[in-house]
Chains A and B, each alone.
Chain A
């Protein structure tokens, strides 16, 4: 049974695409056949982060409009046989997508894949709406600051009122809270909202906390999903998210301030 998962947030720049790439890669590495679709038509980024930007021949819009077959447009990941990418178009805009076309693509993908990960654009317009419309589960990416939390709240309202599941009166979309760019030090000094504050406002189950890290930028620049940077806190945190998503029970990590060792204090933080 296929599961359609939307990665969404409302606000831009919080880490939706980073999360989509890592989440899809994580699922694929554990043996699930996964496809990740970039819904951000006109501002395509996912292919960059997945490191396949030079292999895009046909994109999502070509398939929706019937100019190419799905088979032609799906790009196989270079490191993982179970992972496929459906890139967005950079030359069109979001109106190039329509409900019927997207539904057809998703139905066709449902035959072959275990998970369909939809990378939503920012905002609450057409692209974002279509990304969440067919979803079974949602990962709501939130930064520990008030505007991001409020936009996530808005998206949760849309998930529960305008999605296909809501309109057809089926079970509600299962929403998971993913807090990214979390910096325990800044939370402790009161500059950032704490996990508790965010949970109090959004009141959906927490699936993970990704620490703020310079490794994420490095990963994007080299076209590697952050989850593949073995040994980093970000990679470990994303692995935990996958485990929890697949039903395992994992304690939270990287949410407390690390005590700096004497050597680190003397020679600076970046060791």
Chain B
């Protein structure tokens, strides 16, 4: 899959890290950088993280083309992450920095948002990460999380999990009566009254392998 070869991680520091593996094509990197620009994230410097199977020579070769691409799309190549193969302080004029643990981290969400108040009609909660609501959610309230949603109370409003495209996100509700559910962009309006098996019951909502939205009583 493309995403496993080239991907951006917004790590805990204010840089974007681009992972480059042995199978990565230049074209893919260029596309990523262009997409990155489109996100309006061009103020962030980029850190290059090469797979350990690259040797210094192949990195140097790659860097010449990478620099060209960087100038073309106008992003800053900030530094190269140190790994076991890289021992110099700089390669082709780009500093090598030891990011050690930070690089290893997976995608880092912001902290979970924990909300103890009722979420009334017309209120919108938005968080890059999980949202945990320890109260009820009214009709026409909107909960938008890039991670999972937990509602420990009656949930009536619109619940949108995985809002940035995470299809593994899930929704947990202790008393189900939502009007709209969405995970990773797949949505379902609860136009008809939900069946007795789930209405007012604890449920889990998730996407199955065919991208169908499932509501499972717990």
Contacts and interface: CB of A to CB of B under 8 A. Distances in A.
- A-B complex is real: yes
Interface in A144-200: 150-151, 153-154, 156-158, 160-161
Interface stretch (B19-27, B46-54, B118-126, B205-213): B118-126
A203 B119 CA distance: 12
Contact of A203 (B121, B123, B136, B141): B136
Nearest to B154: A200
B122 A157 contact: yes
A201 interface: yes
Interface string A34-50: 00000000000000000
B122 A154 contact: yes
B121 A157 contact: yes
Interface residues of A, number: 11
Contacts of B136: 203
B9 interface: no
A191 to B, nearest CB: 19
B138 A201 contact: yes
A161 B141 CA distance: 14
- For A157, A160, A201, A203, which residue has the most chain B Cβ atoms within 10 angstroms? A157
Contacts of B121: 150-151, 153-154, 157
B139 A153 contact: yes
24 contacts: A150-B121, A150-B138, A150-B139, A150-B140, A153-B120, A153-B121, A153-B138, A153-B139, A153-B140, A154-B120, A154-B122, A156-B118, A157-B119, A157-B120, A157-B121, A157-B122, A157-B138, A157-B141, A158-B122, A160-B120, A201-B138, A201-B139, A201-B156, A203-B136
Interface of A: 150-151, 153-154, 156-158, 160-161, 201, 203
Given A153-B120, A154-B121, 16 more contacts: A150-B138, A150-B140, A153-B139, A154-B120, A154-B122, A154-B140, A156-B120, A157-B121, A157-B122, A157-B123, A157-B138, A158-B122, A160-B117, A160-B118, A201-B138, A203-B136
